[in-house]
Structure 1
Amino acid sequence: MWNEILHRSWLRLEQNYHFNDSQNVLNVLKQAYAESQRAYHTLQHISECLFHFEQVQDLLGDARAVELALWFHDAVYNPKASDNEECSATLFQDLLKDDLSTALLAKISQWIIATKQHLPSSDQDLNLLLDIDLAILGATSKRFIEYQQQIQCEYHWVDSEIYQHKHKQVLTHFFLQQPLYQTTFFQDHFELQAKQNLTLALAGNLK
Structure 2
Amino acid sequence: MTSLPEAFRSAARGAGATASDDDLDAAARHLLGCWTEPQRHYHDVSHLESVLDVVDRFAHLAPHPDRVRLAAWLHDAVYDPRALGDANERDSAEFAAGLLVSLGAPDEAAAEVARLVSLTAGHATEDDDPDGELLCDADLSILAADPERYAAYTAAIRREYAHVPDDAFRGGRSRVLTELLKLPSIYRLEPIREQWEDRARANLEAELAELA
Question: TM-score under structure 2 normalisation?
Answer: 0.90
Q: Which runs of no fewer than 5 residues in structure 1 stay unpaired?
A: none
2:112 to 98, 107, 110: 107
Distance in 2, matches of 1:71 and 1:118, equals 16
Moved runs in structure 1, 4+ residues, more than 6 A?
none
Distance in 2, matches of 1:157 and 1:12, equals 38
Alpha-carbon displacement from aligned partner over 1:134-172 (angstroms, at most 9, x marks no partner): 111111111111110111100000011110111111111
Contact 1:139/1:194 (8 A) holds in 2 = yes
Distance in 2, matches of 1:5 and 1:188, equals 31
1:32 to 11, 19, 34: 34
Alpha-carbon displacement from aligned partner over 1:156-203 (angstroms, at most 9, x marks no partner): 000111101111111111122121111102211110110111111111
Q: Could you say which residue in structure 1 is the equivalent of 2:137? A: 131
CA RMSD of aligned residues (A): 1.7
Q: Which AA in structure 1 matches 2:53?
A: F
Q: Could you say which residue in structure 2 is the equivalent of 1:6? A: 4
Q: Could you say which residue in structure 2 is the equivalent of 1:186? A: 192
Deviation of 1:19 after TM superposition, in Å, equals 3.2
Deviation of 1:14 after TM superposition, in Å, equals 5.0
Deviation of 1:86 after TM superposition, in Å, equals 1.2
Q: Which AA in structure 2 matches 1:102?
A: D
Deviation of 1:31 after TM superposition, in Å, equals 0.8
Percent identity between the aligned chains?
A: 29
How many residues get paired?
A: 203
Contact 1:5/1:47 (8 A) holds in 2 = no
Q: Which AA in structure 1 matches 2:117?
A: I
Partner of 1:180: helix, strand, or coil? coil
Q: Which runs of no fewer than 5 residues in structure 2 stay unpaired?
A: none
Distance in 2, matches of 1:57 and 1:84, equals 26
Distance in 1, matches of 2:172 and 2:73, equals 27
Contact 1:6/1:50 (8 A) holds in 2 = no
